[in-house]
Amino acid sequence: MTNFARGQKAKLADLGCTGAFPVLLNMAGIEVDIACFGLDANDQLSDDRYMVFFNQKACPNNAVVLELGAGSASFMTDLASLPDSIHKLVFAASVSGEGAMRQLKASSMSLGDAVFAFSGADFQDEKAVIVGELYRRDGLWRFGAVGQGFNGGLSALLKHFGGTEAEASAPAPAPPPAKPVSLSKITLEKRGDKVSLEKNTSGGFGRIRVNLNWNQSAQPAEPSGFFNKLINKPASSNRIDLDLACLFQMADGTPGGVQALGNSWGSFTQPPFVHLEGDDRTGSNAGGENIFINGDQFSQIKRLLIFTFIYEGAPDWAATDGVVTIEVPGRAPVEVRLDQGSNASMCAIAMIENIGGNLQVTKLVEYFAQSNGKSAHEQVNDKFGFGLRFKKGSKD
């Protein structure tokens, strides 16, 4: 690997970046929004479709496709799929809440054989940073390590590059060649906070994605004390395995569950119209775990309880830095952070309910552990009245 300093440049071919390749950003110490801006020859975002971020995760022809993790982002980049009008890709991060870039811990941008490391010591009270860029010169693509602080946040970056931010209250205009970018994101801050989304004109919500992501670098705690080290087996992995799951209740009252335990994957096209995409046993997938809900069949669903449990790894939730994002097509993503510490094995994250045809999300973030002979699953079931009976399940 080649360690790049601020201002250093190199041809992508010399870094081993040919064909499609990932650009990885890891940001630690503060919550940030990470984005890529596709700019024209005048360093302007003349086509808003080429801004790739949490609310628009791919640009035309999938030339840049984003996968978000907890404090990380992977941009799968295929420069050959970009139009000739795009001369530069700028990768930036902005503070999404309180704080400043000086609070960053050890962070980096990497692609091919190049690594550009930086931290809060490189900045002061800036709200954003332009980390690096890929740019075309003399017919060749190159990488430049930038590391430039920027006083504004994501909205200011968008305006700096000439983009247009959508106004939430503005009436819908006639469809333009490129619509304004919506930077809106809904974060449910406290337990009991709710948001209601209206169904679209077709009577449904489309393909709803519920994504769970967490801090993949967190490691299990070592057993303390000489005796404990003798009787405890070492952890089988240095990564956390969180399992995303849900309990459901159909409109006719039928209850059930969707989870990796017991291989209960559900179905997107048949009842319960809820499908668990897969099980990331290693914690190494930057995209985390996903449940997909058939929002066009939402009238047949009464409620869904989204929960997760620690199958292996982290001893407490503070180490996971977990976040669930509920993405409904055409709406701002709804974010629920697992921000309460606990050493319980399970967390009831959010309730999704059909309220008069609208989709209501309520933040729960309530923790459960085995107690009085009842598993955490049973306690969640009893607390929220799903009426299920449980038996021991396995993912093997």
The domain spanning residue 253 has which CATH number? 2.60.60.30
Q: Identify residue 279 by its one-letter amino acid code.
A: D
On whether both 11 and 132 belong to a single domain, the answer is yes
Of 115, 146, 161, which residue constitutes the final position of a domain?
Answer: 161
Residue 230 lies in a domain: no
On whether both 190 and 316 belong to a single domain, the answer is yes
Pairing of strands 266-267, 255-258: unpaired
On whether both 334 and 250 belong to a single domain, the answer is yes
DSSP per-residue string spanning 107-161: EEEEETTEEEEE-GGG-SS-SEEEEEEEEEETTEEEEEEEEEEESS-HHHHHHHT
On whether both 91 and 42 belong to a single domain, the answer is yes
Q: What is the DSSP letter of 229?
A: H
Output the pLDDT for position 146.
Answer: 96
List the helix and strand counts (H, then E) for the chain: 3, 25
On whether both 195 and 48 belong to a single domain, the answer is no
Residue 330 lies in a domain: yes
Cβ atoms of 3 and 67 closer than 8 Å: no
Q: Which of 249, 268, 254, 257 is nearest to 206 (CA)?
A: 268
Of 92, 126, 161, which residue constitutes the final position of a domain?
Answer: 161
Q: Identify residue 160 by its one-letter amino acid code.
A: H
Q: How far apart are CA 319 and CA 297, in angstroms?
A: 37
- Identify any residues that bridge with 355 across adjacent strands, giving them in sequence order: 358
For 356, other C-beta atoms within 10 Å of its C-beta total 8
Q: Which run of H or E residues covers position 156?
A: helix 154-160
User: What phi and psi values does residue 293 have, to the nearest 5 degrees?
Assistant: -115, 130
Residue 242 lies in a domain: yes
Output the pLDDT for position 242.
Answer: 86
On whether both 349 and 206 belong to a single domain, the answer is yes
Output the pLDDT for position 228.
Answer: 39
On whether both 118 and 196 belong to a single domain, the answer is no
Output the pLDDT for position 392.
Answer: 61
On whether both 11 and 142 belong to a single domain, the answer is yes
Strands across the sheet containing 289-294: 186-187, 334-337, 323-327, 207-213, 289-294, 274-276, 266-267
pTM for the model:
0.74
Range of the domain at 211: 186-218+238-384
Question: Distance from CA of residue 161 to its chain's centroid?
Answer: 25
User: What phi and psi values does residue 355 have, to the nearest 5 degrees?
Assistant: -115, 100
Q: How far apart are CA 94 and CA 149, in angstroms?
A: 10
Residue 391 lies in a domain: no
Residues 6+ apart with CB under 8 A from 270: none
Residue 389 lies in a domain: no
The 3-state DSSP class for residue 310 equals strand
Output the pLDDT for position 234.
Answer: 43
On whether both 138 and 211 belong to a single domain, the answer is no
Q: How far apart are CA 384 and CA 15, in angstroms?
A: 54
Residue whose entry in the numeric block shows the structure tokens 């941008």: 109
Residues 6+ apart with CB under 8 A from 27: 34, 71, 72, 93, 104, 107
Residue 283 lies in a domain: yes
pLDDT tens digits, residue range 166-182?
764 444 444 444 567 88
Pairing of strands 114-118, 2-4: parallel
On whether both 244 and 373 belong to a single domain, the answer is yes
Q: How far apart are CA 199 and CA 80, in angstroms?
A: 38
Residue whose entry in the numeric block shows the structure tokens 């630690």: 28
Q: What angle do CA 247, 250, 256 make, to 5 degrees?
A: 35
On whether both 6 and 86 belong to a single domain, the answer is yes
Residues with pLDDT less than 70, the chain: 167-179, 202, 216-239, 279-286, 313-315, 390-396
Q: How many domains does the chain have?
A: 2
On whether both 292 and 150 belong to a single domain, the answer is no
SS3 content of the chain, % helix, strand, coil (to 5): 15, 40, 45
